[in-house]
Structure 1
Amino acid sequence: MGGDSDHGRSQERAEDWAATRAWVSGQLAEGERIEGVERLLGGWTSTMRRLRVTGPAGAERTLVLRSFVQPFYVRHAAGLLTREARTLRLLAPAGVVPVAEFRAVDPDAEHCDHPSLLMSLLPGRVRLEQSGAGRRAALLADQLVRIHRLDVPEGERPRAYQAWTAPDRVRLPGATDRPAVWRRAVDVIRRDPPAHRACFLHRDFHPGNVLFTGAAEEPRISGVVDWVETSWGPADLDVAHCSTALALLHGPEEGLRFADRYAAAGGRLAEDPADHLYWRMLDALAFAPDAEKVAVPWRELGRTDLTARVVAGRLEDYLEALLRRYG
């Protein structure tokens, strides 16, 4: 996550990132220095730090640093961080999507302890509470339509999308009362990907990567973060990913409803229900068998009700609901 979650911060130990801190200091203006560092919670792929920077005459600003520290992501960091840096440079001037301003990147950890990217801090915070979920989902749908409408010149387009699962890679739950649901769900993706009209994708668009400001009754999107997976592909896939997250966070009904919200906002999806179902299942099955990996950061952000049992049940309910509606 690339913004301030305003939840459960922990103080940073200097020995954990001495080289990285020196690199960041080298990116600052003359007379500026790092005054404070806080770890931000709510993400699971990278370490996020909020940096308070002071300058001459009491001037102050805040930056955000993303660092990949887990071995798997360190191996892929060069591509991920280079992609995010390129995307921030592309989107910030356009003003269509509220994104952080790019400051610097060390994708191969030539200077830092770990591969890192430095950017500005966006206002707002992640909101995952059950109350107001529908209002926020409508805003998410409108924002996603705006992302998909971005006119990106062919030479600046990101890589083609990558599928995050396949029929032979789906891990089925060890214990389930509905094995037929899982078999049918996997059968849906036993085909070639449907023909589609490609567009610019966030590729990891969900409530945990969107910041909000404003009162609970009148929320406003203030930032969209985490652009490391930016891709070129079908709008249905971005819609599918956000739908799965909403189903796990707020229940299958909210997950099902998101595609309708997207269409109501002016978005275009596959006309053939079977094609749309393919993309929905391709995303949802990547969370199998239990979706526990996404529940951990959500619990850090206050959703302690999202136990492993709850999210596993919601995933299975969601698969069954998709089959009923589109199968």
Structure 2
Amino acid sequence: MTPRRLERPERARRPAMSRDTDDGRGREHGEDWAATRAWVQEQLGEDERIEGVERLLGGWTSTMRRLRVTGPAGAERTLVLRSFVEPFYRRHAAGLLTREARILRMLAPAGVVPVAELRAVDPDAEHCDHPSLLMSLLPGRVRLDEAGAGRRAALLADQLVRIHRLDVPEGERPRAYQAWTAPERVRPPAVTDRPDVWRRAVDVIRRDPPAHRACFLHRDFHPGNVLFTGERDDLRISGVVDWVETSWGPADLDVAHCSTTLALLHGTDEGLRFADRYTAAGGLLAEDPADHLYWRMLDALAFAPDAEKVAVPWRELGRTDLTPRLVARRLEDYLEALLRRYARGSRPAP
């Protein structure tokens, strides 16, 4: 995600924790949050109090805190607080947090997707220092390492099929999807030895969006927004987070976004393979390869020219191998591979 795009405001993940806590006077890292802390306290039980605060790492635009709450007889529970602090995102926080709160209310009772339970939301910062949302803590953690990437991708595909099959009444459907780039907005890297790949990739999206069957989209579904528990055969998805961009649109677009992220994390082959995993799990994609390629390119080109920025939170979570140069090269490799596999007149990938 790049901060210059409103449409992708947050990679809210269950990241590694820092050891920083507030100073007891409502300040943390020099940031005021006394009013926010008082608001959280009002949401707790009469005999509960905030015992500990830990800043979470790995997000782009929200300040994420883990709150340890104690109650009578030593009972404890943990909550997560999301606050939009940066001025740009704070201006749009009302829409983002209101959307996420509505989706959590809708999904939590259904049980089809493991999501946090909403505790409270203050989207306009009427009571808090910054627009904030309070929710339960989900079990598990984000896993981005190379080991087991294929197994996790298969589980991601199965979970995404379940999301797309959600039956949402027309009056409760989220907003229509928004494109995150356009032909005139794509900026290829300043230095590349494959300018023809970029030209052909941009040409793919110089058309009207293909006709499609719309469904419920997470819209920012990728490994950084999914929590896992267990190992090997016991590996399970325990949570899907970050619902601020939930939309209504083509399944291909969610598949495209996860595919691009997998390509940047694990290489082109894993990025290409995700659509096959999705259809093997029962998902339906565009029958026309040209239509499917449109959605794949529409997502991938939105990362240009600063694909390396998405690796900043990934490096915080342990993927220090993902240098800016490597991530930029992987994006270009992925674009070329998509053209090779899906473009008309191109030789299919083996």
TM-score where L is the length of structure 2: 0.92
Answer yes or no: is 1:215 the counterpart of 2:231: yes
**Of 15, 25, 34, which residue of structure 2 is paired with 1:5?**
15
Q: Which amino acid aligns with 1:181?
A: V
Pair 1:124-2:134 in alignment: no
Q: Which residue of 2 aligns with 1:67?
A: 83
- Structure-1 separation of matches of 2:75 and 2:13: 21
Amino acid corresponding to residue 154 of structure 2 in structure 1? A
Aligned counterparts, 1:141-180, within 5 A: 141-180=157-196
- Aligned residues of 2:62 and 2:83 also touching (Cα < 8 A): yes
How much does 1:10 deviate?
Answer: 3.3
- Residue aligned with 1:31, SS: coil
Q: Secondary structure at the match of 1:117?
A: strand
CA distance in structure 2 between the partners assigned to 1:119 and 1:178 by the alignment: 46
CA change 1:323–1:62 in 2 (3 A) is same
- From the superposition, tell whether residues 136 and 9 of structure 1 become closer, same or farther in structure 2 (CA, over 3 Å): farther
Answer yes or no: is the 8 Å Cα contact 2:113–2:239 preserved in 1: yes
Give 2:219's match in structure 1, choosing from 176, 197, 203.
Answer: 203
Consecutive aligned runs of 4 or more in structure 1 exceeding 2 Å deviation: 1-14
How big is the shift at 1:145? 0.1
Alpha-carbon contact 2:12-2:58 (below 8 Å) kept: no
Question: 2-side partners of 1:242 and 1:221: how far apart?
Answer: 15
Cα–Cα, structure 1 residues 3 and 119, in superposed 2: closer, same or farther, change >3 Å? farther
Contact 2:212 / 2:286 at 8 angstroms: preserved in 1?
Answer: yes
Does residue 263 in structure 1 map to residue 279 in structure 2?
Answer: yes
Aligned to 2:317: 301
C-alpha distance in 1 between matches for 2:253 and 2:336 = 19
Distance 1:12 1:196 in 2: 49
Q: Alpha-carbon deviation of 1:321?
A: 0.2
Q: 1:304 to 1:164 in 2, by over 3 A?
A: same
Q: Distance in 1 between matches of 2:205 and 2:45?
A: 52
Kept after mapping to 2: 8 A contact 1:164/1:286: yes
Deviations 1:117-148 (A, max 9, x none): 00000000000000000000000000000000
- Per-residue CA deviations over 1:186-216 (Å, capped at 9, x if unaligned) read 0000000000000000000000000000025
Look up the match of 1:326: 342
For 2:205 and 2:282, the matched residues in 1 are separated by 27
After TM superposition, the structure 1 stretch with the greater mean CA deviation from structure 2, 289-298 or 7-16, is: 7-16
Match of 1:18 among 34, 37, 43: 34
User: SS at the partner of 2:215?
Assistant: strand
Structure 1 distance, partners of 2:56, 2:232, is 22
The answer to whether residue 45 in structure 2 is matched with residue 33 in structure 1 is no
Match of 2:5 in 1: none
SS of the aligned residue for 1:243 comes to helix
Distance 2:318 2:146 in 1: 11
Structure 1 spans left out of the alignment, 5+ residues: none
Cα offset for 1:5?
2.4
Distance across 1 between alignment mates of 2:153 and 2:97: 28
Asked if the contact 2:309/2:324 (under 8 Å) is kept, the reply is no
Aligned to 1:285: 301
Other structure's SS at 1:261 match:
helix
> Is the Cα contact below 8 Å between 1:12 and 1:39 reproduced in 2?
no
Once the two structures are superposed, residues 212-240 of structure 1 have per-residue CA deviations (whole angstroms, 9 ceiling, x without a partner) of: 00025532100000000000000000000
| Aligned amino acid, residue 248 of structure 1 | L
Find 1:316's aligned residue among 327, 332, 347: 332
For 1:246, the equivalent position in structure 2 comes to 262
Q: Distance in 2 between matches of 1:290 and 1:47?
A: 22
Deviation of 1:75 (Å): 1.1
Per-residue CA deviations over 1:42-71 (Å, capped at 9, x if unaligned) read: 111211100000011111100000111111
> What is the CA-CA distance between 1:2 and the residue it aligns to?
4.8
How much is the aligned-residue C-alpha RMSD, in angstroms? 1.1
Aligned partner of residue 333 in structure 2, secondary structure: helix
* 1:80 equivalent in structure 2: 96
Cα distance change of structure 1 residues 122 and 258 upon mapping to structure 2, 3 Å threshold: same
Deviates more, 1:3-12 or 1:61-70: 3-12
How many residues end up aligned between the 2 structures? Answer: 327
2:291 is aligned with 1:275: yes
How many Å apart are 1:9 and its aligned residue?
4.7
Structure 2 unaligned residues grouped into runs of 5+: 1-10, 344-350
Q: Distance in 1 between matches of 2:204 and 2:321?
A: 31
CA contact (8 A) 1:4 1:123 kept: no
Distance change in 2, residues 1:9/1:263 (3 Å): farther
